[in-house]
Structure 1
């Protein structure tokens, strides 16, 4: 009767967890129910992760032999009944990850054998009952995240068996009780994201069993004991970020060989970082940002070398400190390169690549005349390349690729004769032509200017660069013929000229470049016969696709044969056939000449109009190369969204630099190609002010030869409705809250779009995947429905069939989504706080009976 009373208060059971709960089976055989063998009394009640909704019936208290309750990860509402205190045999109480409210029952203290209390991820209010301190057998106490207030009861120090204390993400105030140091078996203490103040009691650092201390995002202060690495030998997680700690980095931490996470960011620590930090070989994350570490000397970052021993390391953040020297790469550093960097007159090498640096490259770097290596690639740098870099007469390597650099390519840089190893300017938006000064790079081995907006002809002076081994000029606007001067590049091994506007014939001298093993001439306007010797004899070494007027070549290229000339027929005709009336011949010649001129200009005008120069018209053509340029090589910096079948990038398309959104389909996913066709079919003939406008599509081949499909849409500057309703942590301070009127207007916009799709199209269309992330907002906050990858046409035949039957053709949409989608985001925390939940699961082990 107690179990059936529990069932009666369940309002939703989508998985049918309680379908077996009837009189046809003995209650000990019901799902989630475990009975004692001897007396057939219910001892375990386990309905975790069943998506149950409703209220927890007080009748559960009638199961007086109950020892373990597992109701976590459901959708229970209401309060925890006071009657639960009658279960005096209870050992495990787990109701975490629900929507329970109210206060924690104080009479939980009747559970003299209770070992686990897990009530986190609910909406509990009030204070932590001081009576919990009487539970001598309690091992795990998890009460966060919730909305608990007040202070941490000192009585918790009486929990002599406690190993894990989780009070994270509440509104707790006051200090950390000194009494907690009495818990000699404590393994984890997690107090992250509260309003705690004061110092961490020094006696806590003497509990040798501690593996995890997490107090991120509080108001704590004080310093770390110098012997912390010795007194806490089992320490694995030390998370002190976003507080007000001071003092120096304890050298003894190098002895805590088990440490995995070291989070000290956002405090006031100072002094040097130990050079042997790399001895902590289990480190995976180091956050030292926002402190005063360093002394400003050149050797401040010498500890980075030792980190090469940390094979598990995936995150290092050293930003906003006082480190001297330059060698900070792959550390996610943001901000700008300071102009004061030009004061380091003896600087020889600068490594700042693979970070998130933004704004311009300071021209003051040109003052570092001893600089011989500059690596700034893979950042978010903008503006032009400073011509002052030409002052660095000792420069051997300059890598500026994968940024957002614009403007002309300075002749002082492209002609810097000291460059001898590599000059990489690829994946930017550089314009202008290639200056004649490029001929000064006579010692350079690698030159890469691909995926930019460079134009004009290849300067003949490039032939002077006889040391070039690799030359890449792909995906630009170069034109004209391939100059004969390149025949001087005897050392060349790789040559990329694809996706440009080169014309004329393929030079025969390319056959004679004996070291050439890679040649890409694809997607140009080349014509005539393809050579067959040298690199052209190996089909895997060359690419010539996308040149419609090429012919011949080796059979593996599968090009059309070149037309046979009529020279062999001369002299074979009778002399009488040669005597053709002069007047007829002259007329025919004039007619042929005029026709050829007309056809030539028609073809030339077509070729001029083929590149994407405007996106104002409908159904313009766009190439794979143009999309690469538009999105800066599909850079992660331009990523604006990820969907079920593809990725969306922001791009600048065409000479008019129109801003667009490019949806690239991941054709490796099953159904992606079908989704592309479905979206093209759906968007082909529909137009409405509240539908995302499609500009064009692209079905082409990537540089590697794989299929490529993409859709180009009008850019929506305010993103999706999803991010306005449920912003991420790093967006919360950038987005305002939608007003009621804005929400109402967006709802009307969506309703108008659906009304059009259902009732006013040439054939009704069912979207099948309507949700906030597929509703995009323009600059005026007008709603536009997008993503028609799952759309279906709703013909009258199907409509009549459905109306005559009470059935559906099948559910479609995003897996796991059924409207209305309202994810529970009560509190947003930083990345460290979120990841602590994963740590919690690791230590709690709540899925194992009894622990």
Structure 2
């Protein structure tokens, strides 16, 4: 009976379980619900496929009584409870797939299944502290696939793993809590094609014996704590397609022998401590479609041979120490869709060959030393969605048309010599001026005639202005950056409709924020007025100015200008003008009812992942890329703002602190600052300022964003907290504490799979970050790596 992919709904009819003649039942890829049948009467059943439905309850032990069964596929449902040990009685079983369910407990002994070739128990909540099940599997001499990915396996892999079938093809142990080193016995599986052990707690060096696995196609050791060098013997893996070593502690050079892997099409070694040049041998083959060498310490120039990667789709070598010019040969990578060279020491101009990149969607050349004009051809790239040229030395006119018509898609900050067309209002750069040679000569002759009388008039005018300024102090302003727009008290009053309560969008003890629009401008702005009569408001203003002057990052709120003057009554007046964030604060989305919004304003899982990534990147920049490091000290959903495309930006730095250069200095101490519920516990005991303060706030923010509950919710009494609530339900009962609006959104079978596969690790990040003891919390570099891996896997799957 084959009824797969028919949109069937309801429960499985009980009458089906009484059939004594059926050999095959395939109800996969439907929308069936409820429990499955009691199978003890189906004595002839050989093939059972109920995968990709919404079935629930426990797996009946009667399955083990059907001795004729050879194939069981129950994956991608909602089965819970234990795996019945009676499965071991179905001695003819060859194929078992129970992946992507809610199964928990110990894995039973299945060693009696001598014909077993395929076992997938991945993406459940299974445990195996003693690994006894693995010992039993050594009797399964035909086993080719063992998939235990995404469970709760911990401890060390026993050396008995080496007794598994020599015909093993796929060994998948990723996304667990496995510690220790890789047993060298694994490298005796000469038939192995996939070895996936990423996202665990493995440490030590990667053994050179890895070169023995000559049939290996996929090797994933990412997200562990491996140290030492990448063994050169990896170059022996001539059939390798995918190599993932990112998010470890690897050092030394990238081995040139990787050039021998001429079938490699995905290489990721980001977030390590690799150094030295990029070996040109890496580009010997033409199969690479994804290459990520970012966040290392690589030096030297980008090899010209990179142009040989004619199939390359994604290249990221940002956050290294590469120098020299951007190679012309990039123009030969005509399939390229994403190019990231951010934060290096590249110089020279953008090569004209970039115009050949017709499929490019994202270009990030920011934080380098590039010069020259911005090429006009960027405006003709039909698929280009993001262009970041910030923090360079570009000059001349900004092109018009194409992507340059979308202000949010182009970042040109920090290029002080750029100018904009008079017709362009999207960029806050001075208008370009053009003067002909003839006009210059005429002006020169005119100046000779008029300079003497003008000089006399100018001296008189200066005296007049000095007198006028003394009388009209209410209209003076001091901005912290000369290139910023200059505004007066009167400008702010007009922009906010005379400080109308209707324009006020939020208020705190030290300041109020108004929405407004300056005269002759088209863009809305957010204007923060400081309540200078309140204690600490002046310090808050000074701190924000210092932070905004010394930081530049796409995930930090950007200031338009600053105003420091007096009002008509001669009272001190201070304000900061920010870009307006069209989608308000994260707090408004997580708690819509409290902001009088419709509950239908629900963040999807993908949006929550993006926001988590954006905030993590901002904190990583503040903690690890600024000198001295910057601590926010008041991270919470109300201080995370969302622009029109839901990109998150961290704001409100009134409580922020730059870490002092001398440890133990007086400014190193901190009182209890920030907001109750988000303040790290140690700060109530007079601890020093440290990044752990922000890490804790970030953890609480993640848990709040996923549960929809504030840390100060009325339910948290008697020692119960948001962290303890989520921890008590983690991982098997997470559905009980997650935001019900998010659960309501996830209706399709695919979405439910994604929830289980990616929600649990994200919640785990929140729990780790919000641990009570600061020494138990990860750093933001590690947090970024974890969330980045989740985010990329999520959107690749989608």
Counterpart position of 2:667? none
Once the two structures are superposed, what CA deviation does each residue of 1:467-519 show, in whole Å capped at 9, x if it has no partner? Answer: xxxxxxxxxx9xxxxxxxxxxxxxxxxxxxxxxxxxxxxxxxxxxxxxxxxxx
Instruction: Return 5+ residue gaps in structure 2 as ranges.
Output: 1-16, 19-29, 52-61, 355-361, 380-385, 438-486, 488-492, 506-513, 527-551, 562-574, 602-606, 623-631, 637-671, 680-703, 715-740, 766-782
Counterpart position of 1:332? 364
| Partner SS state of residue 162, structure 2 | helix
Distance 1:72 1:728, change over 3 A: farther
From 611, 626, 630, give the equivalent of 2:524: 630
| Partner SS state of residue 59, structure 1 | helix
CA contact (8 A) 1:165 1:188 kept: yes
Q: 1:656, 1:732 → 2: CA distance?
A: 22
1:765-844 map, 5 Å: 772=705, 814-816=744-746, 823-825=760-762, 826-827=764-765, 829-830=785-786, 833-834=789-790, 837=793
CA contact (8 A) 2:222 2:245 kept: yes
Q: How far apart are 1:144 and its partner, in Å?
A: 0.6
CA contact (8 A) 1:285 1:315 kept: yes
Distance 1:398 1:302, change over 3 A: farther
Counterpart position of 2:357? none
Q: How far apart are 1:169 and its partner, in Å?
A: 0.9
Distance 1:373 1:184, change over 3 A: same
1:339-738 map, 5 Å: 347=372, 355-356=387-388, 372-373=396-397, 379-380=410-411, 402-403=426-427, 405=428, 413=431, 415-417=433-435, 614-617=499-502, 629-630=523-524, 662-663=582-583, 691-692=594-595, 729-730=616-617
Counterpart position of 2:295? 266
Distance 1:78 1:27, change over 3 A: farther
Distance 1:23 1:101, change over 3 A: closer
From 128, 141, 147, give the equivalent of 1:118: 147
Q: 2:197, 2:291 → 1: CA distance?
A: 20
Distance 1:728 1:57, change over 3 A: farther
Q: 2:128, 2:268 → 1: CA distance?
A: 30
Once the two structures are superposed, what CA deviation does each residue of 1:358-407 show, in whole Å capped at 9, x if it has no partner? Answer: 68x9xxx6xx9xx6555697545669x96xx5xx9xx997998645x3xx
Q: 1:143, 1:836 → 2: CA distance?
A: 19
Q: 1:399, 1:301 → 2: CA distance?
A: 32
Q: 1:274, 1:611 → 2: CA distance?
A: 54
Distance 1:155 1:812, change over 3 A: closer
CA contact (8 A) 2:612 2:787 kept: no
CA contact (8 A) 2:497 2:503 kept: no
Q: 2:44, 2:794 → 1: CA distance?
A: 36
Counterpart position of 1:314? 337
Counterpart position of 1:62? 89
Q: How far apart are 1:277 and its partner, in Å?
A: 1.6
Distance 1:65 1:841, change over 3 A: farther
Counterpart position of 2:123? 97
Q: 1:31, 1:728 → 2: CA distance?
A: 46
Distance 1:609 1:773, change over 3 A: farther
CA contact (8 A) 1:721 1:776 kept: no
Q: How far apart are 1:194 and its partner, in Å?
A: 0.9
Distance 1:727 1:128, change over 3 A: farther
Q: How far apart are 1:658 and its partner, in Å?
A: 8.9
Q: How far apart are 1:278 and its partner, in Å?
A: 2.3
Counterpart position of 1:283? 312
Once the two structures are superposed, what CA deviation does each residue of 1:220-260 show, in whole Å capped at 9, x if it has no partner? Answer: 2333444543x211111122222233333222333211101
Q: How far apart are 1:179 and its partner, in Å?
A: 2.2
Aligned residues: 502
Counterpart position of 1:498? none
Is 2:38 the partner of 1:21?
A: yes
Q: How far apart are 1:136 and its partner, in Å?
A: 0.1
Q: How far apart are 1:209 and its partner, in Å?
A: 1.1
| Partner SS state of residue 84, structure 1 | coil
CA contact (8 A) 2:326 2:346 kept: yes
RMSD: 5.8
Once the two structures are superposed, what CA deviation does each residue of 1:557-595 show, in whole Å capped at 9, x if it has no partner? Answer: xxxxxxxxxxxxxxxxxxxxxxxxxxxxxxxxxxxxxxx
CA contact (8 A) 1:227 1:250 kept: no
Distance 1:187 1:723, change over 3 A: closer
CA contact (8 A) 1:124 1:148 kept: yes
Distance 1:250 1:97, change over 3 A: same
CA contact (8 A) 1:101 1:122 kept: yes
Q: How far apart are 1:284 and its partner, in Å?
A: 1.3
From 150, 155, 169, give the equivalent of 1:139: 169
TM value normalised by structure 1: 0.48
Q: 1:812, 1:213 → 2: CA distance?
A: 34
Q: 2:678, 2:291 → 1: CA distance?
A: 47
CA contact (8 A) 2:203 2:227 kept: yes
CA contact (8 A) 2:153 2:178 kept: yes
Instruction: Return 5+ residue gaps in structure 1 as ranges.
Output: 5-12, 420-476, 478-607, 642-647, 665-678, 684-689, 698-709, 712-719, 746-770, 785-810, 843-851
Once the two structures are superposed, what CA deviation does each residue of 1:343-367 show, in whole Å capped at 9, x if it has no partner? Answer: x7xx5667999544668x9xxx6xx
Is 2:40 the partner of 1:51?
A: no
Q: 1:241, 1:228 → 2: CA distance?
A: 16
CA contact (8 A) 2:503 2:516 kept: no
CA contact (8 A) 1:216 1:833 kept: no
TM value normalised by structure 2: 0.51
Q: 1:416, 1:125 → 2: CA distance?
A: 69
Q: How far apart are 1:612 and its partner, in Å?
A: 5.2
Q: 2:68, 2:675 → 1: CA distance?
A: 57
Q: How far apart are 1:727 and its partner, in Å?
A: 8.8
